Amino acid sequence: MWKVYLDACCLSRPFDDQTQDRIRLEAEAILLIMTHLQARKWEWVSSDVLDFETDRIPDPEQRSRIKWLSNFAHHSVKVGQAEEERAKHLETLGFKPFDASHIACAES
């Protein structure tokens, strides 16, 4: 079974302005992924990083939507020492802190 990790940007995409072709196509892709997750054909892996990132979204409506969606994750990775060390290494390679943390959790 496939495992899928989605960050806050992915989860926000269906709620973004759909007038741009790229955003509309990305939103359609996320909705298709969510269909597979809901049917339990794929597993959704979340993390503490997504929770932390979601809490920092300034728009209360968008934050609420993402929190609601994230409740449907099948598993959640707790950030431990291994994930922190991996994220720090990824940052040295040029990844931004949140992206590095998401990647580290997805790898776990």
The model's pLDDT over 36-72, given as tens digits with 9 standing for 90+, comes to: 999 999 999 999 999 999 999 999 999 999 999 998 9
Angle at 105 between CA 13 and CA 15, to 5 degrees: 10
All domains of the chain in start order, with CATH? 2-107 (3.40.50.1010)
pLDDT, residue 25, reads: 97
Residue 36 has phi, psi (to 5 degrees) of -65, -35
pLDDT, residue 32, reads: 96
**Mean pLDDT, the chain, as a whole number?**
95
pLDDT band at 95 (very low <50, low <70, confident <90, very high): very high
pLDDT, residue 60, reads: 96
pLDDT, residue 6, reads: 95
pLDDT, residue 9, reads: 92
